[in-house]
């Protein structure tokens, strides 16, 4: 039951932070900032916010994380106003490259040559 509650809080925080970051963190044209996930501690006092910047270079990513840290207090204030919780969590911003890594893996798989026509395709392994 408690795990389900934390998952719901994580999702509500993720949506609220995504909205607020759009307003508070300016981005150049073509760049997209996403809040991939939020993981709040069991005591609700700290939350890790995983951010992903798409369409930007490494230097811009550092600037965006720094800007998010600068507006942390304002973000926490917004959370405190819009989400009724006993504590407003202290936010910790973390760069998340999982989307880029997933895209890179898909590109590698797309570039693999297909099996030769005379080569039998092995059946998928079944988990026991």
Indicate which CATH number applies to the domain containing 51: 3.30.300.20
Local confidence band at 128 (pLDDT 50, 70, 90 cut-offs): low
Q: Distances in Å between the alpha carbon of 73 and those of 42, 69, 88, 127?
A: 21, 8, 10, 48
Does 13 map to a domain? Answer: yes
Supply 40's token pair. Answer: 């709040």
Does residue 36 belong to any structural domain of this protein? yes
In a domain? residue 88: yes
Q: What angle do CA 74, 4, 15 make, to 5 degrees?
A: 30
Does any domain span residue 72?
yes
pTM of the complete model: 0.75
| 58 part of a folded domain | yes
Per the domain annotation, does 123 fall within a domain?
A: no
The total of structural domains in the chain comes to: 1
Does residue 109 form part of some domain?
Answer: no
- What would the pLDDT profile of 8-65 be if each residue is shown by its tens digit? 999 999 999 999 999 998 888 888 888 999 999 999 999 999 998 887 677 888 888 8
Domain span including residue 78: 2-98
Asked whether residue 56 is assigned to any structural domain, the reply reads yes
* Crossing angle between the packed helical segments 72-82 and 58-70, to the nearest 10 degrees: 60
């Amino acid at each position: 039951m408690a795990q389900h509650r934390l998952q719901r809080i994580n999702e509500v925080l993720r949506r609220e932070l995504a909205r607020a970051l759009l307003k508070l963190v300016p981005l150049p044209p073509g760049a997209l900032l996403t809040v991939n996930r939020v993981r709040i501690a069991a005591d609700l006092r700290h939350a890790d916010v995983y951010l992903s910047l798409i369409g930007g270079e490494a230097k811009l990513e550092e600037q965006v994380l720094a800007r998010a840290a600068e507006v942390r207090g304002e973000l926490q204030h917004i959370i405190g106003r819009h989400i009724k919780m006993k504590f407003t969590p202290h936010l910790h911003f973390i760069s998340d490259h999982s989307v880029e890594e997933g895209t890179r893996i898909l590109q590698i798989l797309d570039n693999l040559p297909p099996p030769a026509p005379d080569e039998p395709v092995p059946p998928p392994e079944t988990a026991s």
